[in-house]
Amino acid sequence: MFQQNMRVYVSLLVVFLCPAFAPQTARANSSTDSAAPLVAKKPTLPVARRISPLIDELIQSGMQDYAKVASPVCSDSEFVRRVYLDLTGRIPTVAQTRAFLNDTSADKRAVLVDQLLNSPEYARHLSQRLDVMLMERLRKKYINVTDWEEFLRESVAENKPLDQLVREIMSADGADPKQQAAARFFLARDGDVNELTRDISRIFLGADLTCAQCHDHPEVADWKQDHYYGISAFLVRSFVFTDKKKKQTVFAEKAEGEVKFESVFEVRDKTSKGPETTLPVVFNGPKVAEPAFKKGEEYKVKPAKDVRPVPKYSRRAQLGDALTSSNNKRFARTMANRLWALVMGRGIVHPLDADHADNPPSHPKLLDLLTEELIAGNYDLKWYLRELVLSKTYQRSSTNELFASKSAQELADAQFTHAILKPLTPEQFSRSVLEATGQAELYRNSLKQKLSEATLRKNLVGYERQFVSLFGGLPGEPVEGFETTADQSLYLSNNGAIQGILSPRSGNTADRVLKIPADQPALIAEELYLSVLNRRPEATETKEVAELLSGKTGKERSEMVSDLIWALMMSSEFRFNH
């Protein structure tokens, strides 16, 4: 239904929108999006200002020759593919591609961006990206993964402010059925204080403090053991508790317990001052003081066998506030940077969890601006992403004449002179394979009236899981860089699940291509290229297709079409968001 309505919706927006007040109008209009049961509610956040031009200014000022060496703004073909992948997690369908390329209105890019941001697919895609960021594909433990995914999806769909989402996750103990799903963050990690400390600092504070567990960080002068145990101190009293009667597992808390730490090096040197303790504290922020209770009066519910204790004062309840408080700019800065990396392909601070003095941001002023604006904009995800993707920086082509010459080394990714090639995530890759082959279209057609983002995904999720297991990295570990494996290329080359969707079936890509008369090779090549690579073929490519199909009929012709689809889909052009 979403897809059927899209053209109508585009034209509606074109009629109503005017660039000068585009953001406001988009917000107001989002309620008219009839795309469906899962559409975002009308955002209620205040309208924040445009920062795309400032982004471009600050990027440009980061490099003397920037204007001279930067890539031009990308073509419509590059843009439509890129923005669909970044905002909805898949390539556009052949119809969506054609519609965009044929649209002659001047503001069509902004219109498309608003439309995608308000689509149900945006909520799915962005919540999946947040899921990977927060959970790193950890498997189920205590909490249903589907419930958690739905919690995230709904949060993104209603454009819940990101700081609020994080506070909800940090305060969920799983006891309240309404917030049970959000407790997955703690429970999937089995409440392990060290694992949680590591992940909270890495994910929300841009600091991989792992090495500061046993001693001050050996390589990063900024990171001390105190930082590590400051975070741990919020969590040290919490533990996983299973209520046997209710058959429910929650993240419970005691009223006492301190972190104790000493450097393993000091012990060896015999210079140890003995173990230290610290109050909860987020980096160099204020220490969270706590009320004193008379002995015996610390609990609302006292600990006993098979009873979940409830302390009067919860240390852990302070964690969400302390993390997202205005005292702690690290949170906003890390989120601004992570979301930037999500669409730009690289952090302004990079790696994303190495934000410290010896690893300065490529564009410090820009990162400051983004941090301030994210706070001022009330952590409005849609607004922030919209500003990023409407910047020229985002819209630069991935091609650059200099790459072919020796001076290519001048074009460091960190200068954002060109669009960085982003490997498709496993979810993007699987969904895009299904779009390119027309398999997703087959499901859309079969669902007809019942078609919604949720029903479609249900049909496609089997493919997604295969890709996630092969391309998704180790559970509990952040994805770093681009890794290809033998398992992956063998799967793509030989597995039946890929081979099976290449053959013609009524309405899929191979079928559409085969229905075009053999004496119209230009149309055949166009249908192939628009379906798989979302662009029209070059003359040489048309010629190549024509030659390959020339004289072939029946099974031979059909096989050649499938092989062409495979070859296009396995090319680097498809594998990367460019």
Distance from C-alpha of 335 to C-alpha of 115, rounded to nearest angstrom: 24
Of 489, 506, 520, 550, the residue at the interface with other proteins (CB under 8 A) is 489
Closer residue to other proteins, CB minimum distance, 485 or 520: 485
Among 423, 426, 438, 521, binds other proteins (CB under 8 A): 423
Residue with tokens 């049961």: 37
Pick from 499, 506, 520, 550 the residue near other proteins by CB under 8 A: 499
- Convert residues 190-219 into a mask of x (bound to other proteins by CB under 8 A) and - (unbound): ----x---x-----------xx-xx---x-
Cα gap 451→444, rounded to integer Å: 6
Closer residue to other proteins in complex, CB, 158/487: 487
What mask, x for binding other proteins by CB under 8 A, covers residues 536 to 555? --x--x--x---x-------
Alpha-helical (H) ranges within 329-451 are 329-344, 364-376, 381-389, 426-437, 439-447
Residue 570 found at the interface with other proteins (CB under 8 A): yes
Please identify which residue in 144, 493, 506, 550 interacts with other proteins, judged by CB under 8 A. 493
Binder of other proteins out of 34, 144, 446, 485 (CB under 8 A): 485
> How many residues sit close enough to other proteins to count as binding (CB under 8 A)?
60
Q: Which residues of 74-102 are buried (b: 16+ CB within 10 A; e: fewer)?
A: bebbbbbbbbbbbbbbbbbbbebbbbbbe
Distance of CA 557 to the CA centre of its chain: 40
Q: Residue 511 or residue 573: which is nearer to other proteins going by CB?
A: 573
- CA angle (372 as vertex; 371, 373 as ends), nearest 5: 95
Shortest approach of other proteins to residue 504 CB, angstroms?
13
Alpha-carbon distance 87 to 354, whole Å? 26
Check if the beta carbon of residue 189 is closer than 8 Å to that of residue 138. Answer: yes
Q: How far is the CB of 352 from other proteins (least distance, A)?
A: 15
Stretch that binds other proteins, among 8-16, 379-387, 442-450, 570-578 (CB under 8 A): 570-578
- Among 491, 505, 514, 557, the residue binding other proteins under the rule CB under 8 A is 491
Kindly tell me which residue out of 413, 443, 504, 543 binds other proteins, with binding defined by CB under 8 A: 413
536-539 contacts at long range (C-beta below 8 A, 24 or more positions apart): 536/77, 536/101
SS3 of 226-255: the string is HHHHHHHHHHCCEEEEEECCCCEEEEEECC
* Closest to 171 (Cα-Cα) out of 315, 328, 325: 315
Q: Which of residues 79-138 bind other proteins (CB under 8 A)?
A: none
Nearest distance from residue 398's CB to other proteins, in Å?
6
Cα 428 from chain centroid (whole Å): 10
Q: Does 301 bind other proteins (CB under 8 A)?
A: no
Look at residue 404 and give its three-state secondary structure.
Answer: helix
Q: Does 21 bind other proteins (CB under 8 A)?
A: no
Residues 450, 482, 515, 523: which binds other proteins (CB under 8 A)? Answer: 482
**CB contact at 8 A, 508 and 531:** no
Least CB distance from residue 299 to other proteins, whole Å?
31
Residues 127 and 192: their CA atoms lie apart, in Å, by 25
Cβ neighbors of 221 (< 8 A, separation 6 or more) are: 356, 357, 358
Tokens of 40: 């975002």
Tell me if 268 contacts other proteins by CB under 8 A: yes
Nearer to other proteins, 5 or 488 (CB): 488
Secondary structure (3-state) at 553: coil
Binding mask 140-179 for other proteins (x = CB under 8 A): ----------------------------------------
Minimum CB–partner distance for residue 500 and other proteins (Å): 9
Could you tell me the CA-to-CA distances from 4 to 91, 394, 441, 489, 560 in Å, in that order?
A: 17, 29, 12, 35, 31
Phi, psi angles (nearest 5°) of residue 241 = -130, 130
| Residue 480 engages other proteins in binding (rule: CB under 8 A) | yes
Q: Which one, 258 or 413, has the nearer CB to other proteins? A: 413
Q: Considering the complex, what minimum distance in angstroms separates the CB of residue 142 from other proteins?
A: 22
Counting every residue written for the chain, the total comes to: 578
Q: How far is the CB of 116 from other proteins (least distance, A)?
A: 24
Binding track over 381-410 against other proteins, x by CB under 8 A: -----------------xxxx-xx---xx-
- For other proteins, the binding residues in 457-476 under the rule CB under 8 A are 473-474
Question: Quick check: 276 and 263 in contact, CB under 8 A?
Answer: no
The verdict on 571 binding other proteins (CB under 8 A) reads: yes
Question: Which residue, 274 or 496, is less far from other proteins as judged by CB?
Answer: 496
Instruction: Determine which residue in the list 177, 296, 496, 554 makes contact with other proteins, applying CB under 8 A.
Output: 496
Q: How far is the CB of 137 from other proteins (least distance, A)?
A: 12
The vertex-146 CA angle with 143 and 152, nearest 5°, equals 95
Q: How far is the CB of 213 from other proteins (least distance, A)?
A: 5
CB of 29 to other proteins, least distance (A): 37
Task: State whether residue 63 is helix, strand or coil.
Answer: coil
Residue 401 has phi, psi (to 5 degrees) of: -55, -30
Nearest in space to 231 (alpha carbons), one of 291, 306, 178, 284: 284
Beta strands in 124-275 (DSSP E): 238-243, 248-253
573 lies in the site for other proteins, by CB under 8 A:
yes
CB of 453 to other proteins, least distance (A): 30
Among 276, 488, 504, 546, binds other proteins (CB under 8 A): 488
Q: With binding defined as CB under 8 A, does residue 495 bind other proteins?
A: yes
Nearer to other proteins, 156 or 419 (CB): 419
Q: List C-alpha distances in Å: 474 to 208, 267, 464, 468, 576.
A: 18, 34, 16, 10, 21
Which residues contribute to the site for other proteins (CB under 8 A)?
A: 194, 198, 210-211, 213-214, 218, 264, 268, 398-401, 403-404, 408-409, 411, 413, 418, 420-421, 423, 473-474, 477, 480-491, 493-496, 499, 538, 541, 544, 548, 559, 563-564, 566-568, 570-573, 575-576, 578
